[in-house]
Chain A
Amino acid sequence: MAIENRLQTRKEYSFKAVGLSKRETSKPTERALRPVIGIKTPMTLSSSDGIFSMHRDVGDQISDNLRNLILTNHGERLGFYDFGANIRPLVFSLGSDDADMVAIERIGVAVGKYMPFVTLDNFQVLIDRFDNKEVAKVGIVITYLIPAVDKLTRKLEVILYVGG
């Protein structure tokens, strides 16, 4: 609301009271201005990013890639036989110390080879003892850091279906 001054014909406006025009609101947001990094998985169609939904944050992209790396088993990736952590053969044994050690080693080797910029921090196995009537489930929780991006400790939880 403008305040009228009797002595001078002038109007005063507060920036707080000024709204944004429609044209101004349609400008790209800061997030949208960030360049796309890679395809988000699971893949979905997108109306804003192009054909597929895309990651625009490096950390998110790396987390996504790390999840795919851990969920991939040897021989599944075309052209890279040893790509993946190859955890599936261990799902029946996860929870035991020996199997956990092997899983940790496999994840460490895979990350060291294909995502060396990730620093693994902690490894935890979850055995779902309730929601396992039809298909037993085993979860792996990994905490890690991406020192080149930020100092945050991130957490990744993947569920492996035993026999499924």
Chain B
Amino acid sequence: MADDIKLKFGLQRNRSYLNRDFGDFRGELLRYANVYFKDKIQDFSEASMGGLFLDMAAYVGDTMSFYLDHQFRELSPNTVTETANLESMIRNAGLKIRGDSPASVMVNFYIEIPAVQDNVTGEIIPDPDSIPKIKDGARLVSSNGINFYLTETLDFTEKTPNGKYAAQVTPILNSAGSVTSFVYMLQGLTVSGTIATEEFVISSSFVPFRTIKLTNQHVSAVLRVYDSEGNDYHQVESLSQDTVFRKNKLSNGDTSIEVINTPFRYTMDTSIGDRTSTIRFGSGDGSNITDVKIPNPSDMALPLYGKETFSKVSLDPNHLLRSTSLGISPTGTTITVVYRHGGGSNHNVDADSINEIQEIEYSFFQAANYNKTQNIKASLAVSNPKEATGGSAAPTLLELKNFVTSARSMQNRVVTTDDLLARIYTLPTEFGVVHRANVLPNPENSLSSILYVISQNSLGELVPCSDALKRNLSTYLNEFRLIGDAMDILDAHVLNFQIRINCRFTHTVNKYELISKIISEVKKLYTKEKIALGKPIVVSEIRSVVQNLTGVISVVDIELINVSGTIENRSYSSTKKNLSEILDNDVYFIDPYEIFELRFPNNDIIVTVI
């Protein structure tokens, strides 16, 4: 075989400007000296003086190469080794460094309310004057000594729109069969950790971007920051964010979301080294808050009055920094910080291990009888039906490195559909939960889109989102949308359906058992987690599942039928559609604003054995 000329005579320089070590440098220097200074010196063996000089030069090159490589390595989150550089990358990527994470768990709160006779109807009802509220911040302790704090106020008096108590109410009967009292049960979210309060005396001298360092490590949440004048400071992601969301409880029980302006704000950073946290305030002069919030640049700009020429004027950027546009820096006050700290995997306590109540605060009606309230307090019991989850050790440096790469694609605005859906699904749950959403262009207006949303009720059925949720969604998304984006929020259409399966079984099989198995397996295909707006139903998937069950000889026919309205006390969505018209090559296609729901699988999967 002929030689490859190109390979033989072509340029085959194997150059490497990085990763050169002592041996590479020495070899290269030796080659150079032998080529160009052969007549001056020949002995470069290790034992010779020439070799010694060569070694020194190679050593310098090796050292410089090492630091050059090191500098390059420090530029990438995948290869960075110095903690300070990694910390800087993490902050640039917008990631929050955290310490040990706390665990959270829903805890059942049981109280016994005495029964009274309704003056009007004569019914035995819970004494309405004795029903309390349990305020947030109640401290519970698990059997292994971990503190859990209640994060929300539990209002046992709260009623649903249909007039029933939101709490689960169970009557207690005496031996004679008459109701003596009622046990109320409400679930509340609790979070593990320890709540600490620290005070910081702030001098009267103005310091822009003043920082205060919290004593305890692993701060999981700052609950409140306020000064001695009563100003509440709000946590923001960056000091340029001048608004925060605030939740408001409406008179009808709904929670609305509101955007409020907050000149008193701070950011919190956690050190990667010791996992202590630092609070950083803004640059505005707190003693001068009544002044204009953003200075007029012309006040400090060019002195042009009565002049046609002017010299170069130096501007002091500190004048701009003293504005409140980046928040207030407190002066001459005392800052109080209430925060929760601590966490770790040992906080993931077992089910039924949170039984002890350490601190709790009730709120009763004025009319409540003192003795009754004492009895009700004494009746309080707590228990966690499930184990606590979420407690974990602080992320290691390696884990943080991995987060940096993925965090770089995050952004604090909505540009793409994925951004929008991510925002919708991360709406804080207290403002409502959107189960599924989809965005479509508006056929009426090319400059706007339509956001179709669907929610779930307490039974897990797909229902239209409440108006309150849509309003909250609108307020929430408005903070992230681009200025030209317009969006209509509409309800998605729920298509309830029945699956009718005709099949043949072997003679030996227990038909009822096999039918039950078919229903069980087909049900798994259409659980709440697997459905989405616009997602079609592929008949062959059902056929495959049924056919693969032992005892099924053949699947003769599978048909989907739309069901709507009320059938045998089962309430379906009102959407009607002839599904045979949307069947195409074994696939039922629906519009992107529609969603299939197998609402009552035990009734809506009908198996007929031929």
Residues of A within 8 A of B (CB): 35-39, 41, 43, 50, 54-55, 61, 64-66, 68-69, 77-80, 83, 114-115
CA distance A36 to B41 in the complex (A): 6
Are B48 and A61 neighbours in the complex by a CB distance under 8 Å? yes
Chain B residues closer than 8 Å to A77, beta-carbon distance: 52, 55
Judging by beta carbons under 8 Å apart, are A38 and B40 in contact?
no
B49 and A79 form a contact (CB under 8 A): no
Query: Do A39 and B46 form a contact, CB below 8 Å, given A54-B41, A78-B55?
Result: no
- Taking a contact as CB atoms under 8 Å apart, the answer to whether B41 and A39 are in contact is yes
> Among A50, A79, A114, which residue has its beta carbon within 8 angstroms of that of B47?
A114
Residue-by-residue, is B111-133 near A (CB-CB < 8 Å gives 1, otherwise 0)?
00000000000000000000000
B39, B45, B47: residue with the most chain A Cβ atoms closer than 10 Å: B47
A-binding residues in B (CB < 8 A) = 22, 39-50, 52, 55-56, 58-59
CB pair A115–B40 under 8 Å, yes or no, is no
Seed contacts A37-B43, A66-B47; 16 additional CB < 8 Å A-B pairs: A35-B42, A36-B40, A36-B41, A37-B42, A38-B42, A38-B43, A38-B49, A39-B43, A50-B40, A54-B41, A55-B43, A64-B48, A68-B47, A68-B48, A78-B59, A80-B55
Q: How far is the CB of B50 from chain A (nearest CB, A)?
A: 5
Is the Cβ of B40 less than 8 Å from the Cβ of A68? no
Interface pair A65/B56, CB less than 8 Å apart: no
6 cross-chain CB contacts under 8 A = A37-B42, A38-B44, A38-B48, A61-B48, A79-B55, A83-B46
The closest CB in chain A to the CB of B47 belongs to A65
A132 to chain B, nearest CB (A): 29
Cβ-defined partner of A36 (8 Å) among B39, B44, B59: B39
Q: Once bound together, how far apart are the Cα atoms of A5 and B58, in whole Å? A: 74
Neighbour of A65 across the interface among B43, B55, B58, B59, CB < 8 A: B43
Can you name the residue of chain A whose Cβ is closest to the Cβ of B46?
A: A114
Closest approach, in angstroms, between the C-beta of A69 and any C-beta of chain B?
Answer: 5
The 8 closest A-B pairs by CB, nearest first: A38-B43, A65-B47, A39-B49, A79-B55, A69-B47, A38-B48, A37-B43, A114-B47
Docked CA distance A66–B52 (Å)? 14
Nearest opposing residue in chain A for B52, CB measure: A77
Measured in the bound complex, the distance between the Cα atoms of B39 and A37 in whole Å is 9
In the complex, A18→B46 CA distance in Å? 50
CB of A134, distance to nearest CB on chain B (Å): 30
Contact flag A61-B46 (CB < 8 Å), given A77-B52, A77-B55, A79-B59: no
CB distance from A146 to the nearest CB of B (A): 13
Specify which chain B residues have a CB less than 8 angstroms from the CB of A54 in the assembled complex: 41
Query: Which residues of B are found within 8 Å of A64, using beta-carbon distances?
Result: 48
Assess A38 versus B50: contact at CB under 8 Å? Given A65-B45, A79-B55, A79-B58.
yes
**How many residue pairs at the A-B interface have CB separations less than 8 Å?**
57
A163 to chain B, nearest CB (A): 26
- The residues of A that contact B47 with a CB separation of less than 8 Å are 65-66, 68-69, 83, 114-115
Minimal Cβ-Cβ distance residue in B for A70: B47
CB neighbours (8 Å) of A80 from chain B are 46, 55
Q: Which residues of A contact B59 (CB under 8 A)?
A: 78-79
With A and B bound together, what is the CA distance between A39 and B48 in angstroms? 8
Q: What's the nearest-Cβ distance from chain B to residue A70, in Å?
A: 10
Q: Which residue of A lies closest to B45 (CB)?
A: A65
CA distance A47 to B454 in the complex (A): 96
Contacts of B41 in A (CB 8 A): 36-39, 54
Taken together as a complex, chains A and B put the C-alpha atoms of A80 and B47 apart, in Å, by 11
CA gap between A115 and B43 in the complex, in Å? 12
Q: Chain A residues with Cβ under 8 A from B44's Cβ? A: 38
Distance of B57 from chain A, by nearest CB (Å): 10
Alpha-carbon gap, A39 to B50, bound state (A): 7
**Bound-complex Cα distance A39 to B59 (A):** 20
- The chain B residue with its CB closest to the CB of A40 is B49
- Assembled-state Cα–Cα distance A66/B47 (Å): 7
Q: Across the interface, which residues of A come within 8 angstroms of B45, CB to CB?
A: 65, 114-115
Nearest opposing residue in chain B for A83, CB measure:
B46
Chain B residues whose CB sits within 8 angstroms of the CB of A35 once the complex forms: 39, 42
User: In the complex, are the beta carbons of B50 and A36 less than 8 A apart?
Assistant: no
Best-buried of B41, B48, B56 by chain A (most CB within 10 Å)? B48
Q: Which residues of A contact B43 (CB under 8 A)?
A: 37-39, 55, 61, 65
Q: Whole-angstrom distance from the CB of A82 to the nearest CB of chain B?
A: 11
Q: Nearest-CB distance from A53 to chain B (Å)?
A: 11
Which one, A37, A39, A79, contacts B22 given CB within 8 A? A79
CA distance A26 to B123 in the complex (A): 138
B residues within 8 A CB of A115?
45, 47
Contacts of A43 in B (CB 8 A): 49
Closest A residue to B53 by beta carbon equals A39
By beta carbon, the residue of chain B nearest A69 is B47
Q: How far is the CA of A80 from the CA of B46 in the complex (A)?
A: 9
Q: Once the chains are docked, how many angstroms separate the CA of A78 from the CA of B61?
A: 13
In whole Å, how far is A17's beta carbon from the nearest beta carbon of chain B? 39
**How far apart sit A114 and B39, CA to CA, in the bound complex (Å)?**
24
> Measured between alpha carbons, how far is A69 from B45 in the docked complex, in Å?
11
How long is the Cα–Cα vector from A79 to B47 in the complex, in angstroms? 13
Minimum CB distance partner of A58 in chain B? B43
Residues from chain A with a CB closer than 8 A to the CB of B22 are 79
A65 CA / B44 CA spacing, docked (Å): 11
Q: Which residues of A have CB within 8 Å of B49?
A: 38-39, 41, 43, 68
- Distance (whole angstroms) from the CB of B55 to the closest CB of chain A: 5
- Identify which of B43, B50, B56 gathers the most chain A CB atoms within 10 Å of its CB: B43
Provide the bound-state CA to CA distance between A43 and B41, in Å.
14
A65-B52 in contact given A37-B42, A50-B40 (Cβ < 8 Å): no
| CA–CA, A42 and B335, complex, Å | 73
B48 to A65, Cβ gap below 8 A? Answer: yes
Determine the distance from Cα of A78 to Cα of B40 in the docked complex, in whole angstroms: 24
- Give Cα A35–Cα B40 distance, bound, in whole angstroms: 8
A36 to B39, CA, bound (A): 7
Residues of B near A38 (CB, < 8 A) are 41-44, 48-50
Residue on B with the closest CB to A110? B47
CA distance A36 to B43 in the complex (A): 9
